[in-house]
Structure 1
Amino acid sequence: MKTPQVFDRIRARWDRAGLAEASYRPLRIEFELTTKCNDACPSCGMGALSLQAGRSLTDQQLDYLLAEFSDVGLPSVAITGGEPFVAMRALLRFMTLARGTGVEVNKLTTNGIWGSKQRCGPTFDQLINAGLLDNTLFVPLLMLSIGEQTTPLEHVARIIHHTVTEFTDHDLNLAISSLADPSDREHKIYDLMRLYEAAYGDFPHDRIHSTMRVYLENDRLEDQAEINRPGRTSVAKWMDRCYDCFAPTVGSYVLPTALLKADGTLYACAAFNVPEKLGFGNLFREPLRDILARANRSAYVSAVRAGGGLKALHEVIPRAETEHMTCGSFCGSCSLLIDKFEQRTGQTLPAGSALPFVDTSSLWSRLPAAQGSRRG
């Protein structure tokens, strides 16, 4: 946080936007700027596409999104892909437009493609000129993702070194998401640390928030090889370890975090392999207010939110049953629990993710009128 009054200021924004009574309100929306990527990780959590097959959001779509985000008093966004830095013009344009609107860019995810000797410093300069350090609520976070990609670790090490030597932890936070194949659990972060220390000296452990996970089976990747994850964990254990992903939290994580896919689908969670049933609408088809209202009508979201995590669902699904259900992840357990919850309560999640994608020309025609009716 950049201010101890962060929640007071955020609540004031929600009040002005007319969302004071809503129980589910994201502190951040993580959105796909592009589905294009310079790499081809077989187990990509986002289902990124090649530079030739992927697509980036248009100027009209980005203008529309920013207007919608502002309308509901959204405090911050995270930008992901694909690889956002292959859509550099769009990235800088959105950051520049967002500056001063109250919608802060507080996270950028990247594989480090821009960390070459020629590009590293100039790219940081461009990000700063676009407003990266201008946040008033949250210290921005640079998330470096390493795993299957072929982007040189030298690039990643150079980005880390530039960050820790040029900026304090009050200016810019740094994180590494290290993903390993579940069959051998080998993480590239150890190679990265050795490379960094050979080039720059001691690795800056005190500046880096590190997460180490394994790749998961991804429903969005039709051709993904089967993940051989040793061992199975009971759903009950996943439930006991789950925090409330719908409750406002600011710390190592900013929650709740929603996910906006490039096709417009908005999910009420931004986890690695978010269940499809947590998709509550298409933002390129209807206003964000309506999608959030639909999420707030979800009995499942309300139960998790009120009970402090998935463990709250034991009031509906007996522990004796979940002890004998197994899966390989929080997301997998959430997906199983949604189905069980719907069966037991008869309350299905309000469907929204199947809404069709619309082309940008209709968005452009709607934008002036939509901007003219903004509140707050």
Structure 2
Amino acid sequence: MIKEGAHTYIDGQGPVVPYTGKYAVKLEDPFAVIRDRWAAAGITDAYAYRPLRVEFELTDRCNDTCKSCGMGAKPVSEGVTLSDAQLDRLVAQFADVGLSSVAITGGEPFVSSRALYRFMEAARGTVDIGKLTTNGIWGTEKGTPHVFGRLAEAGFLDSRIFVPLLMVSIGEQTTPLDRIARIIHHATTEFTDRELNVAVSSLADPADRKHRVYELLDVYEKTYGQFPHDRVHSTMRVYLENERLADQAPINRPGETTVTRWMKACYDCFAPTVGTYVLPCALMKVSGDLYSCAAFNVPEKLGFGNLFQEPFREILDRVNSSAYVRTVRAGHGLKGVGDVVPPSVTDRMTCGSFCGSCKLLINAFEAATGEQEPGGRLRTFIPLQGLSVREGQSA
């Protein structure tokens, strides 16, 4: 499989090769097109933070019950799905700031397929559907061709900047691997890499770091022959702690690393990037709460507002008023915070991830500057009747 990181393109750092990388683009000058979209929307270079993508939860309902779910999904009977009114508002909000692409996640988007297809149809021609994440529950013999047909009809393949990516997630999921194999086979035989990219996200418990991807390869090759390694991108990581998942299975990550070391290894997540990633990337929870980073366990203080309560522009203004965000952006990653929070402090701080170090750094940054950051003040949106859909209700 194509390992993540094979093709990274950063604005201003060399040419872009179209149709390469997990998050491939169709254009030789995508950043120029993206900048033109921002300029037309009045989102100028004065903004230190301008997201190329928003990853949003279409629903928090899921057919599965993974104990270490990074998104904190709920059972189908308990979760909510964005309503037609909310989806229409998002399309308008994204258009207003010239957003180039979105990534759809959950929960499991296909347990709310009507809303999924409706959003795609509404967004067609306005914003690219750059990524769709699924656990592949629909990969049955009859379901696979039907779903791919509906995705094409709804406009999933009609992006203008990005090659759409279908991300199939395996790990604790209970979806039979023969369904995942069927989805991969259909995607790679019925579509070219200029029409559709395919990726497998394999998350492992940090205690043993075992990945199910090797089981998947065995299942695929027994059924279809040689695995299409040249078409399928891989993301192989371990589960992280998620403070929003109260009953998450314990994550026993061996060892602790100093925040200083995490800072030195951090890449510039706010630099315009395509190929390996699409950055900067914001995250919108099903509540409408918007975060300036799309990491699973993003610190709550990087939450800057609610897209169902206020305009995207106002939230962007709030993000860009954050001294912490501006410092990270100017310093090309977390290492830039070292001018405010010195090694004498960060050498004594330890954690198990980049996100954990970011959370600790925000608190230390506030203590050093004496100012509270504008993030972390989310007024979690409680949907009004008729604005969100529970199982068994109609929109």
- For 1:162, give the aligned amino acid: H
1:82 aligns with 2:107: yes
In 2, Cα distance between equivalents of 1:340 and 1:206? 45
2:319/2:375 contact within 8 Å kept: no
The verdict on how the C-alpha distance between 1:281 and 1:56 changes in structure 2, with shifts beyond 3 A counting, is same
1:354 deviates by 2.5
Q: Does 2:79 align with 1:54?
A: yes
Check whether the contact 1:299–1:347 (CA below 8 A) recurs between aligned residues: no
Structure 2 contact 83–387 (Cα < 8 Å) conserved: no
Provide the TM-score with structure 2 as the length reference: 0.89
Structure 1, unaligned runs of 5 or more: 365-376
Partner of 2:3: none
One-letter code of the match for 2:185? H
Aligned counterpart, 2:256 = 232
Secondary structure at the aligned position of 1:334 is classed as helix
Is 1:69 the counterpart of 2:94 in the alignment? yes
Compute the displacement of 1:360 (Å). Answer: 4.6
Give the whole-Å Cα distance in 2 for the aligned partners of 1:131 and 1:225.
Answer: 38
Number of aligned residues: 363
* Alignment match, 2:52: 27
**Residue in structure 2 matching 1:40, options 65, 74, 82:** 65
Aligned: 1:212 with 2:245: no
User: How far apart are residue 320 of structure 1 and its match?
Assistant: 3.4
Deviating more after overlay: 345-354 vs 312-321: 345-354
Instruction: Establish whether residue 176 from structure 1 lines up as the match of residue 200 from structure 2.
Output: yes
Q: Which residue of 1 aligns with 2:393?
A: none
CA contact (8 A) 1:267 1:278 kept: yes
Q: Is the 8 A contact 1:68 1:288 kept in 2?
A: yes
* Structure 2 equivalent of residue 368 of structure 1: none
Query: As a proportion of its length, which structure holds more helix?
Result: 1
SS in 2 for 1:56: strand
Q: What's the CA shift for 1:278?
A: 0.3
Q: Which of 271, 279, 282 is 2:306 aligned to?
A: 282
1:94 to 116, 119, 122: 119
What's 1:370 paired with? Answer: none
State the TM-score, normalized to the length of structure 1.
Answer: 0.94
Identical aligned residues as a percent: 63
Q: Alpha-carbon deviation of 1:353? A: 4.2
Paired residue type of 1:47: G
Secondary structure of the 1:213 match is strand
Q: Does structure 1 residue 254 correspond to structure 2 residue 254?
A: no
2:179 aligned with 1:155, yes or no? yes
Separation in 2, partners of 1:325, 1:264: 32
Q: Does 1:266 align with 2:293?
A: no
- 1:240-293 CA-to-partner distances (Å, cap 9, x unmatched) read 111111111111111010000011100000012101100000111111100010
The answer to whether residue 358 in structure 2 is matched with residue 334 in structure 1 is yes
Runs of 4+ in 1 over 4 A off after TM superposition: 360-364
The one-letter code matched in structure 1 to 2:97 is V
* 8 Å Cα contact 1:76/1:105 also seen in 2: yes
Counterparts of 1:356 and 1:48 in 2: how far apart (Å)? 16
| Alignment counterpart, residue 373 of structure 2, candidates 330, 335, 349 | 349
Contact 1:248-1:256 within 8 A present in 2 as well = yes
Structure 2: distance between partners of 1:362 and 1:287:
21
Amino acid at match of 2:73: A
Query: Is contact 1:245–1:256 with CA below 8 Å preserved after alignment?
Result: yes
1:177-220 CA distance string (max 9 Å, x none) = 11111111111111111111111112222212211111111101
Provide structure 2 residue ranges, at least 5 long, that are not aligned to the other structure: 1-24, 389-395
Deviation of 1:324 (Å)? 2.9
Correspondence 1:186 to 2:205: no
Matched, 1:197 2:227: no
Larger relative contact order (Cα-Cα within 8 Å, sequence gap ≥ 6): 2
Paired residue for 1:374?
Answer: none
- In structure 1, give the amino acid aligned to 2:57: E
Tell me if structure 2 keeps the 8 A contact 1:174–1:209: yes
